[in-house]
């Protein structure tokens, strides 16, 4: 079902949509040095070591920037232990040419990387800049470009521009895909690699009945993407195996198989080389040598820590409203329903029906394999996370399933098309609020936070405790640019709704005004969002003093401004106490309130009107 060329109006809507999407992808820099995020820092350490020390050993980098978790300890021939990263190595290896250029540029500017003898402040400043560069070039840019490709790919499944853009928004902004694109880690890159590998093979199967005419380039990219998924995240191995079998039969002709194999050989060789140099065997991952004794014992069970999944893990990682994949992104739940519908009841007749059925079966079982590994992991909750971290490959697959389901309903009953757009918008906005908004604040939260939006992100945003943004690079030092990125993020799916105001090709009647889609979205958003935003009565208040103490950048939030104004503002300490109560810092608020020099009743509303950041 190819959509064909876009009309001029739709091209404008698509362009505006992606400009709005670019703001949250490139506009912010969530970073807190003191957290020493092992998911990110271990990978960054490996890149720095490879460039500066010409080795994968992390010893010298650890000495310069501090110890971090998620490392392996391997003894050399003399029995001396050395640190190595246990993460999938592709992320770090992709960063090597980027960091090499950064070092060359810094040397040319007479600001070389600081040695271990330099002050901690200088070393931390360099590490922060390095993190920004590696994130921007190797993660954020590829993840954004993938969304551009995804929209074009989805034209083969729906002629409705609105539904297509909504699917892209749901995957890119309404899951942890956005939050993890702001980390030098592979939780979002694995989605890019896996779906690109699947999509290139599926499109060739759909569009080229003759296997001899299928593209050599598509075969090469498919093989590279499927293999790279495991190179980014080891637990994606089972998913990659399902996708690899599918692509093998799509590109079964000798020349296509050769291109497919060459593509797969590139990431496989990189992973094998790293494992050989670090752990002595090209087939041995670092989990066998994990430094943490508890984790070492856990990884000794099953296949490097993966055993049979439990119902508890499956239910929580899927449906928990605080960190479950479907629980926080209800649009993805439509994708699960769509997968079941198209596996059990494919649409159409003849070859088109068979191809559609085959594709649905393949990605459904690929996701089943991903869930098997995720829920069977010893540490299935995965510690400090944003949503279901190990489900990083899932968003584009379930977005495809949701789009197919909504398009099928709207095609069979054309009068429901606006209703389907309303369903898509409402469920997408819930995901944007519950995961996209939180990801723009920070992407690594402790397990004690049961509802990330209401317990953590909203209180901090109300007080102006928001992260670095890239407006700082051009002189915008306040918090306003960060709030602008939030507005752009929420506007993107709304713009997608208006993109569907034209008649869909093949339908007799034009749809009603796009405003109906917005109106219909409200009840769906309320119903789908209530679990993710409602804090259970049994949940204790979560004090945010840790975050306000170590937040970066410091001292530009509302409390800091009020403290500076306190000597000349009689109500300041009342407003400071109000802000601290919002952050559940009640003891400190009670201590500060008596310092106010005006009665409480005179200081109520002005705090919210005057000191909004």
- Is residue 575 domain-resident? yes
DSSP structure class, residue 536: P
pLDDT of 4 above 80: no
- Give bridge partners of residue 206 from the DSSP assignment: none
Q: What is the mean pLDDT of residues 2-7?
A: 56
Q: What is the pLDDT of residues 171-194, one digit of tens each?
A: 999 999 999 999 999 999 999 999
The pLDDT-based confidence of 415 (bands split at 50, 70, 90) is confident
By the 8 A CB rule, do 536 and 437 touch?
Answer: no
Q: What is the mean pLDDT of residues 391-404?
A: 97
Count the neighbouring beta carbons within 10 Å of the beta carbon of residue 295.
17
Spatial separation of the C-alpha atoms in residues 534 and 570, rounded to whole Å: 36
Q: What is the mean pLDDT of residues 589-606?
A: 83
Q: What is the mean pLDDT of residues 33-49?
A: 95
CA distances from 160 to 418, 465, 541 (A): 11, 39, 44
- Is residue 94 domain-resident? yes
| Average model confidence (pLDDT) across the chain | 91
pTM for the model? 0.94
- Is residue 156 domain-resident? no
pLDDT of 3 above 90: no
Q: Directed axis angle between helix 216-232 and helix 254-279, to 10°?
A: 20
Q: Taking Cα atoms as reference points, which of 261, 251, 144 lies closest to residue 200?
A: 251
Cβ within 8 Å of residue 328, ≥6 positions away:
175, 321, 322, 387, 431, 434, 435, 532
Q: What is the mean pLDDT of residues 221-238?
A: 96
- Is residue 178 domain-resident? no
- Is residue 69 domain-resident? yes
pLDDT of 29 above 90: yes
By the 8 A CB rule, do 518 and 496 touch?
Answer: no
Greatest alpha-carbon pair distance for the chain in Å reads 84
- Is residue 585 domain-resident? yes
Token pair 């079966």 is at which residue? 361
pLDDT of 339 above 60: yes
Count the neighbouring beta carbons within 10 Å of the beta carbon of residue 128.
15
- How many structural domains are present in the chain? 2
| Peptide bond before residue 553 is cis, with ω within 30 degrees of 0 | yes
Q: Taking Cα atoms as reference points, which of 39, 44, 28 lies closest to residue 436?
A: 28
Q: Write out the residue range of the structural domain in which residue 587 sits.
A: 557-610
- Is residue 21 domain-resident? no
Residue-level pLDDT at 599:
87
pLDDT of 1 above 60: no
pLDDT of 205 above 90: yes
The pLDDT-based confidence of 610 (bands split at 50, 70, 90) is very low
Cβ within 8 Å of residue 524, ≥6 positions away:
422, 423, 425, 426, 427
If one compares 195 and 581, the residue with the highest pLDDT of the two is 195
pLDDT of 23 above 70: yes
- Is residue 118 domain-resident? yes
CA angle 483, 486, 491 (to 5 degrees): 130
Percent of the chain topping pLDDT 70: 93
Residue-level pLDDT at 8:
57
pLDDT of 2 above 60: no
Q: What is the mean pLDDT of residues 554-566?
A: 90
């Amino acid at each position: 079902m190819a959509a064909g060329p876009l009309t001029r109006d739709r091209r404008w809507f698509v362009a505006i949509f992606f400009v709005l999407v670019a703001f949250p992808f490139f506009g912010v820099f969530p970073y807190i040095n003191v957290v020493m995020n092992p998911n990110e820092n271990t990978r960054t350490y490996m890149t720095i070591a490879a460039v500066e020390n010409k080795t994968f050993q992390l010893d010298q980098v650890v000495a310069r920037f501090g110890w971090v978790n998620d490392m392996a300890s391997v003894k050399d021939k003399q029995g001396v232990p050395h640190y190595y990263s246990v993460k999938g190595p592709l992320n770090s290896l992709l960063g090597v040419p980027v960091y090499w250029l950064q070092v060359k540029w810094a040397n040319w500017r007479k600001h070389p990387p600081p040695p271990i003898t330099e002050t901690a402040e200088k070393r931390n400043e360099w590490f922060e800049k390095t993190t920004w560069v590696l994130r921007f070039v190797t993660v954020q840019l590829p993840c954004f470009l993938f969304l551009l490709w995804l929209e074009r790919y989805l034209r083969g499944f729906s002629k409705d521009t609105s539904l297509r853009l909504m699917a892209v928004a749901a995957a890119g902004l309404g899951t942890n895909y956005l939050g993890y694109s702001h980390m030098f880690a592979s939780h979002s890159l694995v989605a890019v690699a896996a779906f690109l590998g699947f999509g290139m093979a599926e499109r060739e199967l759909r569009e080229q009945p003759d296997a001899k005419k299928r593209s050599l380039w598509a075969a090469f990219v498919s093989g590279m993407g499927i293999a790279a998924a495991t190179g980014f995240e080891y637990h994606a191995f089972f998913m990659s195996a399902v996708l690899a079998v599918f692509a093998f039969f799509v590109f079964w002709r000798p020349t296509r198989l050769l291109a497919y194999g060459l593509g797969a050989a590139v990431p496989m060789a990189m992973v094998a080389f790293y494992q050989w140099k670090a752990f002595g065997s090209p087939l041995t991952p670092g989990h066998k040598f994990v430094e943490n004794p508890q984790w070492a014992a856990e990884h000794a069970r099953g296949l490097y820590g993966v055993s049979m999944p439990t119902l508890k893990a499956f239910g929580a990682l899927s449906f928990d409203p605080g960190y479950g994949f479907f629980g926080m992104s209800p649009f993805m739940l439509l994708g699960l329903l769509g997968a079941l519908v198209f596996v059990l009841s494919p649409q159409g007749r003849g070859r088109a029906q068979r191809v559609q059925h085959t594709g649905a079966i393949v990605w459904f079982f690929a996701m089943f394999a991903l869930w098997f590994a995720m829920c069977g992991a010893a540490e299935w909750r995965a510690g400090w996370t944003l949503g279901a971290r190990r489900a990083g490959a899932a968003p584009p697959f379930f977005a495809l399933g949701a789009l197919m389901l909504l398009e099928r309903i709207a095609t069979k009953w054309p009068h429901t098309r606006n209703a389907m757009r309303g369903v898509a918008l409402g469920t997408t906005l819930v995901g944007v609020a519950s995961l996209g908004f939180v990801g723009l604040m920070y992407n690594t939260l402790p397990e004690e936070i049961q509802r990330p939006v209401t317990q953590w992100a909203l209180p901090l945003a109300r007080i102006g405790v928001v992260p670095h943004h890239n407006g700082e690079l051009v002189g915008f030092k306040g918090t306003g640019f960060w709030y602008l990125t939030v507005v752009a993020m929420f506007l993107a799916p709304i713009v997608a709704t208006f993109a569907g105001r034209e008649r869909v090709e093949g339908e007799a009647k034009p749809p009603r005004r796009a405003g109906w889609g917005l109106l219909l979205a409200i009840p769906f958003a309320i119903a789908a969002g209530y679990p993710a935003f409602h804090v259970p009565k049994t949940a204790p208040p979560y004090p945010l003093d840790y975050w306000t103490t170590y937040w970066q950048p410091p001292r530009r939030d509302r409390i800091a401004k009020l403290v500076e104004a306190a000597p000349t503002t009689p109500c300041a300490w009342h407003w400071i106490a109000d802000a601290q109560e919002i952050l559940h810092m009640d003891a400190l608020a009670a201590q500060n309130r008596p310092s106010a020099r005006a009665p409480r009743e005179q200081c109520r509303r002005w705090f919210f009107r005057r000191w909004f950041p």
